[in-house]
């Protein structure tokens, strides 16, 4: 267990860990061997390493939930807008923690959940076109406090598109929480209000992040290898 969490301890010691700015995972971090954890056999040969174990994700998500609840838990209703499909697991776990704070505190905040689905990737590359291919009636966002929950911010272009769509429906306020922010030269420098981890420019799968709809059933966030890309290409 010490080996698994040692990189997180190093981030704390180096001042790289903060509640809202995320935990920085360095480019040269090699991750953890897959034989240290339970990985489905059908992915065993298609994962390079485990970048973020499930337990670390859970601990970081709990802290993000606390930060969000402290900032927004003033009795004003919140609409949580979950970006599907990749954000569903993170959103579910984040809300479980926020609901726990709601149950055990003197103040609480009403919440409800809406969903939107966007698509910008085919295989491991962005198509350059962002499609809204599903979602509820966003007219209900008018004059509401919105918390957008996303799995990963890559270039930032998808989130900027979504923020424009949401703003067109006249919300009262909008905050964004992403589990991951990718460190890439393609970024437009957008950073969400809350995020869990700043990660290297690698294609990540697991914990509901997919590669052509595969790998969502992995518990951990992993780096896909070249064999995996070929095996599940479209």
Which active-site residues does the annotation give? 154
For 3, 56, 165, 216, the CA distances from 207, given in Å and listed in that order, are 21, 12, 26, 6
Q: Measure the CA–CA gap between 137 and 139, rounded to whole angstroms.
A: 5
Evaluate whether 123 touches 143 at the Cβ level (below 8 Å).
Answer: no
CA atoms within 13 A on the CB side of 230: 4
Taking Cα atoms as reference points, which of 99, 167, 174 lies closest to residue 138? 167
Residue 126, preceding peptide bond in cis (omega within 30° of 0): no
* Residues listed for the chain: 234
User: φ and ψ at 27, to 5 degrees?
Assistant: -60, -35
Residue 148's contacts (CB-CB under 8 Å, 6 or more residues apart) are 81, 83, 159, 162, 163, 166, 174, 175, 176, 177
| SS3 state at 179 | strand
Torsion from C-alpha of 167, 173, 179, 182, nearest 10 degrees: 50
């Amino acid at each position: 267990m010490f080996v698994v969490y040692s990189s997180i301890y190093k981030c704390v010691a180096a001042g790289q860990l903060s509640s809202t700015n995320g935990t920085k995972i360095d480019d040269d971090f090699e991750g953890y061997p897959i034989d240290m954890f339970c990985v489905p056999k059908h992915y065993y040969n298609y994962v390079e390493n485990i970048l973020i174990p499930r337990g670390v994700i859970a601990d970081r998500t709990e802290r993000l939930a606390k930060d969000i609840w402290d900032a927004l838990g003033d009795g004003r209703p919140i609409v949580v807008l979950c970006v599907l499909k990749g954000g569903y697991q993170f959103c579910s776990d984040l809300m479980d923690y926020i609901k726990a704070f709601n149950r055990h505190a003197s103040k609480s905040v009403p919440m409800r959940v809406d969903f939107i689905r966007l698509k910008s990737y085919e295989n491991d590359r962005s198509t350059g076109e962002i499609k809204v291919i599903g979602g509820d009636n966003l007219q209900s966002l008018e004059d509401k406090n919105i918390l957008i929950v996303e799995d990963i911010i890559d270039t930032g272009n998808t989130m900027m598109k979504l923020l424009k769509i949401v703003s067109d429906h006249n919300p009262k306020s909008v905050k964004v929480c992403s589990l991951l922010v990718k460190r890439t030269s393609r970024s437009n420098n957008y950073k969400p209000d809350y995020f869990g981890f700043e990660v290297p420019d690698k294609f990540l799968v697991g914990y509901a992040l997919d590669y052509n709809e595969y790998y969502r059933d992995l518990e951990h966030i992993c780096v896909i290898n070249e064999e995996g890309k070929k095996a599940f290409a479209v």
